[in-house]
Amino acid sequence: FDKHVDYARSEWGMIDHARREGREEGREEERARLLKSLHENGVPMEIIAVSVGLPEEAMR
């Protein structure tokens, strides 16, 4: 019984971790999409940096 409980906890931990990673990847993809859209519309890099929460150097 204890092994089963340990296994179930481990599985839930892995699922939770994967879910968090997926959400973070989604946030990064949305940030990249926003950066591209703002840049294509002529928004200055300083404003884009503040909008997407990245240092200006990281966007180049």
For position 44, what pLDDT does the model report? 93
Tokens representing residue 56 in the block: 């200006």
C-alpha 32/C-alpha 15 separation (Å) is: 26
C-alpha 42/C-alpha 11 separation (Å) is: 47
For position 60, what pLDDT does the model report? 67
pLDDT digits (tens, 9 = 90+) for 6-60: 888 889 899 999 999 999 999 989 988 988 999 999 999 989 888 878 787 776 6
- Are 48 and 38 spatial neighbours (Cβ–Cβ below 8 Å)? yes
Give a three-class secondary structure readout of 5-59.
HHHHHHHHHHHHHHHHHHHHHHHHHHHHHHHHHHHHCCCCHHHHHHHHCCCHHHH
